[in-house]
Each structure stands twice: as C-alpha cells, then as structure tokens.
C-alpha cells in the first residue's frame, strides 16, 4: 500500500505565523439545533469536518450468540477557527453532537476547553438535558443560548431557565446562529462568565 496513492485533498489553510496561543470552545447541542451554522458564522474559514468512528453497544438487539453486539458509528464534528488579537491567538470552535452515546468522543473534546456554548431550540428543550448532563459530568462550564428560529415559539428567559433547571449564575441568552455578530456576543457572554467564575482564585474548583 503506497500512501502516495491517497488523495490528500486541497491544501489546508495554514495559521498566521504570529500565532502563539490557541484556545477552544465547544458548541454543543442536539441534532439540527444550528451548531454548524453558529460555527460557520464566526469562523474565518468554511467549517471543516472531522469524522471519528466510535464503537457502541447495540441497543435493543437480542444477542443469541453470547457475544457483545457492537456497531461502529461515525460521528461528524464540524469546526471553525478565528484569529484574534492581531493574529497572536487562534480560537477554535468545535460543533459537537450532544448524545450520551458519544461520551468517549467528549473526553477528548472538553479537555482543555475554555467552556461550552449549549445551543437550544425552544421546540426541543428536552434535547438539551442530555448535553447539559454530559457537560456537568465532565465539569465543563457552559452557557445556554437559545437559537431563535423564525418559526419557534418565544418564551420569557426566566421560564426557559426553569424548564432547563439552570443554576442562577449560568448565562442564558438568545442569538441568531446565522448572524456572526450575534454569535460573537454569545461567545463574549460565555467568556465573561468564565472569567468571573475564575475569581477569587482560592474558590476555583480543585483540579481532579
């Protein structure tokens, strides 16, 4: 097998030479909630796709041979990036599907992440609980952002906060995932929250 036969596709977009730091934020949410749209609205490159095959136990299948029934699923993650501070810093945004069965994938994703933006759709708030549960399990701080779909019902944020059982300090805002500015504001809200959580230093949760 010769690697030269493998097509490596178009040349990648290289980072600016001035980059001296990188950071990542996870954009999580249920299927179809607008994660890739959000990432694409902020990113300076068209969102790129990574695919990770994961093995999972089949659910609801009787196994008569006594061997564990495993299937392989490919999980797609779309991501984008943006240079900040005169190209010294590059911020990566990873759109991540929120299902518990993708837990193995999450460990590599949330490790070192600043935090997560959880996108929610008022027509499917239940789809959010799984994502919030996963983030809490991994002790990744998050904000919740309602992606305002034109045909989705609007509710007062206080009602949504109760429906999602959010901590009083957890930011809950609205955005239009198609609008870059709106998405940047959502990111600012998250990072502001993260910085306030950080101080005073003595109260930061112990590292495990």
The label of the residue with tokens 């590292």 reads 207
149 is a contact residue toward other proteins (CB under 8 A): no
With CB under 8 A as the contact rule, which of the stretches 77-85, 122-130, 153-161, 162-170 interacts with other proteins?
A: 77-85
Among positive and negative, which fits the CA dihedral 107, 108, 114, 116? negative
Judged by CB under 8 A, the chain residues 15 through 54 that form the site for other proteins are 15-17, 19-24, 48-53
Q: Hey, is 174 helix, strand or coil?
A: strand
SS3 call for 157:
helix
Q: Which of residues 167-196 bind other proteins (CB under 8 A)?
A: 181, 184-185, 187-188, 191-192, 194-195
Minimum distance between the CB of residue 206 and other proteins, rounded to whole angstroms? 10
User: Whole-number minimum distance, CB 40 to other proteins, in Å?
Assistant: 14
Among 57, 58, 63, 84, binds other proteins (CB under 8 A): 84
Q: Which is nearer to other proteins, 19 or 172 (CB)?
A: 19
Distance in Å, CB of 8 to other proteins, minimum: 6
Q: Judged by CB under 8 A, does residue 67 bind other proteins?
A: no
Count, residues near other proteins per rule CB under 8 A: 58
Helix (H) or strand (E) holding 54: strand 48-57
Joined together, the tokens standing for residue 176 give: 């239009």
Rounded Cα–Cα distance for residues 183 and 174 (Å): 9
**Contact in structure between 52 and 46 (CB atoms under 8 Å):** no
Q: Is-contact 5 75, C-beta < 8 A?
A: no
How far from each other are the two terminal CA atoms of the chain, in whole angstroms? 44
Distance, CA of 158 to CA of 173 (rounded, Å): 10
Which one of the spans 29-37, 90-98, 125-133, 143-151 is the region binding other proteins (CB under 8 A)? 90-98
Q: Hey, how many other C-beta atoms are within 10 angstroms of the C-beta on 48?
A: 14
Binding site for other proteins (CB under 8 A): 1-3, 5-6, 8-17, 19-24, 48-53, 77, 79, 81-82, 84-85, 89-92, 94, 108-109, 111-114, 181, 184-185, 187-188, 191-192, 194-195, 198-199, 201, 204, 207
């Amino acid at each position: 097998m010769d690697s030269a036969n493998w097509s490596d596709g178009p040349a990648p977009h290289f980072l600016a030479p001035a980059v001296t730091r990188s950071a990542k934020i996870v954009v999580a949410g249920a299927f179809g909630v607008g994660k890739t749209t959000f990432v694409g609205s902020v990113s300076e490159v068209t969102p790129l796709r990574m695919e990770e095959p994961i093995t999972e136990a089949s659910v609801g299948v009787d196994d008569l041979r006594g061997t564990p029934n495993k299937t392989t699923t490919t999980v797609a993650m779309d991501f984008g990036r943006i240079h900040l501070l005169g190209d010294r810093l590059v911020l990566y945004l990873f759109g991540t599907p929120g299902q518990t069965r993708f837990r193995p994938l999450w460990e590599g994703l949330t490790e070192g992440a600043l935090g997560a933006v959880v996108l929610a759709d008022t027509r499917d708030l239940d789809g959010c609980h799984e994502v919030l549960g996963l983030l809490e399990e991994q002790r990744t701080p998050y904000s919740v952002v309602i992606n305002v779909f034109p045909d989705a019902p609007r509710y007062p944020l206080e009602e949504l906060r109760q429906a999602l059982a959010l901590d009083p300090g957890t930011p809950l805002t609205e955005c239009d995932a198609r609008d870059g500015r709106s998405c940047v504001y959502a990111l600012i809200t998250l990072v502001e929250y993260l910085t306030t959580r950080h101080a005073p230093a003595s109260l930061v949760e112990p590292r495990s």
